[in-house]
Structure 1
């Protein structure tokens, strides 16, 4: 009974937190408050090697943050009285005190105000994107990862988004993207990687590959980043979603007419899942096929970040540090990424067999991916495929299958010539190979990476594939002063990370109910009275 009462109180507490949480309004007052503190903390700093500093007193120079307090590493806390290079810091967090109003979470970004380095907050960056990608649904996102641009000889064109689900060093990943607009110009191939979001990006390595594709043939990367040609794709003969809606008009061809989930049907009863089934006419001699999907992801993840930020409050940096070492928390996050992925299954007799998982990739740039289907000789009747995912994470533009027997196209690596960074720092060594060194990309910064095109010049139909490895820190939305009063009254002495783990692991439906309530409201505001 005692445990039950505690759990009920905990749920009431979570409701209060989520109900009171909303995005903060940032202003210059934080800079003034910082100056008035005259170096009195507390502040926290997280470095790119996962060290967490809590400084009770501090001072600044152009290159270092100097302070006295404690250092936490792998669960051990020791006294600290030294300096930290700014180029090692990925987050700085000011803690709420009686004089500091609210919490601000910022990356390592400084400007001089009256001779004193001051901290920038996210909306002060005035982020303005390079030439926008307009070929996407109006209600998808503003991005949550590094943007990848290709220089087409005249301008940079937005082509892809890199490692968007790598939200900590422990989740670092390498992602591959096709760059159809890339052409040699001035004896080089130029790819731009930019940060245009309130995030901190850490780039480990980049590579550019080229393949000589057959002329007049489309190509696609599969979920294992293998490049395949698509000589003859075929549309499905039947397609329905879990509401019974006929999808054929939405997914027959790449026409920017996207199928999307009906928000009114998203409830606990549906498991907060979208399920779609497709039938394809199966040729008699088919033994293999390539499933082609053209899609884009929504910005639902930002709704999740908002609620995570509401729960975490001033424990954001502890959360990121815990994510580097806590295997259970890592598993929680990986499970959520998996749930947001597109699960593809093939019906074999009466049994659905998993063919692969397609992770979320981009919510600004529409993208194409493939999954190879094998052992089709045992399939009787039409080829029936089932796609399922967390509701309203995916918008589908085209789904087709190519039964042509094909071999993978071979990729050849191109040599990196140089790197030009907007911050005028030399990052070439940091991103040239996969090692322990990282390049830091703050909002508004970008790298122009130049490659030698000589191998591609001898090809009839060169196709370029860009690989980027790294991770990012999302700046969780902080809270208004009224929300902060809820936190200070109800969360004192409570382990916020433990509550978040409870929500992610044991209270999935409770968590998702509030996520989708907020998501519906934001869609209603954006789309008038439409919810689907």
Structure 2
């Protein structure tokens, strides 16, 4: 219960200012303040409040302050309207967790979802960061069905994702889903809508790397599949059976051979009749992928929040990072044309907790003969493959219906559906343990001779909770970003424990 004493907030202590110095938080980032922050809030009237256990809402900051009455010291909760705040400062070098775990678009368009009874959730030390989870109701229970916008680790790298919902079933004409944060990170979801695709029976709908549904027909498995170091892996990638091929173990890397840091598979398919092929790949990342990403972020030390700000505001830096992610982390697809491999596509990360199917469009016009040779290449130890097939795109036009949530209630009982209807910067922000339950109206059944596939379209980003302490190791960061292949060597050193 809140104290009935008049809350006269204690002035900022000398320790707060002197221990590490104070840094002002820009107004546009107030909405991203998390409970681990220690703040000094100065109002337009000049009053100063030293606050802990702070939660940011759309209209206020709410947190604890110490009050003194004689020899008694008490802690009370105060609420300060955003429009009455002049500036906010935080102690720099916050040691355990980030002061800001996300940089919001604006303080007035962000909503922090409160946990059920607790908002300062501390993640288990063994948890692996990744991205938001989407659960689908199958008529009996909610089942994990999607892991979305993997790799979008700050606002400047936010991306759109499209993912098949294999478990979702309409019950009484409604689709029910749950958006959940179960990782040690802060997640910002700007859009969660459905694409309901009615397509000819016998065809398959899968997303491409640009977040568009494609209709695959006449797909066949490979005739042969060989790992880059000679292993026969056809049995592992021939069918969608959750039997994965992960490549050669990381600990067998030969540091003297640069090619040893890469892995992949070469496949032979019967040539389709069309000069445009659609390659379907069902794969997932290993848990080593987010581990390496977390270690990379820790290299920024206490400057990580400032680095996030620079990425979010600098288009050139965003382009550089996206190119680095494409070069070092994505799944690269090449086709043998003439006398060499021609790279044709790169598929983005999908996360370590669920396999995901994607398609890549291939230009087969220059391929000679009755077979197509395809090569998939990835960083060693970061990907595993379930099924790979090659077909063409259906000439029949599918019927695609966009469906927005009728309602989307968070753990506090608030309907946040308007914030998830489109990509407009009005993020729903979740700390670990937070959920949103969504309900969608299912369209009428597809006409005879057609099947239905439902996909979730999302847009957003997240910040992984990593330790922010110490001096930034910028030389190491620069080498990772600039030197092709060095991140693979860095990963190996981490794996072997030769660096801290």
TM-score, normalized by the shorter chain, greater than 0.5 = yes
Deviations 1:127-149 (A, max 9, x none): 9xxxxxxxxxxxxx955111011
Q: 1:267 aligns with which of 230, 248, 255?
A: 255
Residue 162 of structure 1 is matched in structure 2 by 148
Residue 178 of structure 1 is matched in structure 2 by 164
Residue 421 of structure 1 is matched in structure 2 by 410
The 2-side partners of 1:477 and 1:194 are apart by: 23
Contact 1:239 1:277 in 2 (8 A): yes
Contact 1:223 1:370 in 2 (8 A): yes
Tell me whether 1:49 sits opposite 2:25 in the alignment. no
Residue 321 of structure 2 is matched in structure 1 by 333
SS in 2 for 1:356: strand
Could you state the TM-score of these two structures normalised by the residue count of structure 2?
A: 0.75
CA shift, 1:122, in A, is 2.9
Return 5+ residue gaps in structure 2 as ranges: 1-9, 41-48, 65-78, 103-111
The 1-side partners of 2:349 and 2:231 are apart by: 24
Q: 1:219 aligns with which of 177, 190, 205?
A: 205
Contact 1:293 1:369 in 2 (8 A): yes
Deviations 1:381-403 (A, max 9, x none): 42111111222221011112125
CA shift, 1:46, in A, is 5.7
The 2-side partners of 1:210 and 1:39 are apart by: 57
The 2-side partners of 1:472 and 1:518 are apart by: 24
Q: 2:61 aligns with which of 52, 55, 64?
A: 64
The 1-side partners of 2:113 and 2:369 are apart by: 64
Tell me whether 1:316 sits opposite 2:304 in the alignment. yes
Return 5+ residue gaps in structure 1 as ranges: 1-33, 68-81, 128-140, 479-483, 523-532
SS in 2 for 1:158: strand
SS in 1 for 2:343: strand
The 2-side partners of 1:349 and 1:467 are apart by: 38
Could you state the TM-score of these two structures normalised by the residue count of structure 1?
A: 0.71
Moved more, 452-461 or 343-352: 452-461
Residue 434 of structure 1 is matched in structure 2 by 423
Q: How many equivalent residue pairs?
A: 435
Deviations 1:257-292 (A, max 9, x none): 211121213636235222421111225x44332211
CA shift, 1:351, in A, is 3.7
Change (3 A) 1:437 1:375: same
SS in 1 for 2:406: strand
SS in 2 for 1:331: helix
Contact 2:419 2:428 in 1 (8 A): yes
SS in 2 for 1:473: strand
Task: Judging by fraction of residues, say which structure has more helix.
Answer: 1
CA shift, 1:335, in A, is 2.5
The 1-side partners of 2:147 and 2:27 are apart by: 22
The 2-side partners of 1:119 and 1:296 are apart by: 31
Tell me whether 1:292 sits opposite 2:263 in the alignment. no
Q: 2:220 aligns with which of 226, 234, 243?
A: 234
Residue 370 of structure 1 is matched in structure 2 by 359
What is the root-mean-square deviation in Å for CA atoms of aligned residues?
Answer: 4.0
Tell me whether 1:383 sits opposite 2:372 in the alignment. yes
Residue 489 of structure 2 is matched in structure 1 by 513
Residue 348 of structure 2 is matched in structure 1 by 359
The 1-side partners of 2:410 and 2:298 are apart by: 35
Deviations 1:276-331 (A, max 9, x none): 21111225x44332211111111223332343244222112112112112445423
The 2-side partners of 1:215 and 1:515 are apart by: 45
The 1-side partners of 2:473 and 2:415 are apart by: 37
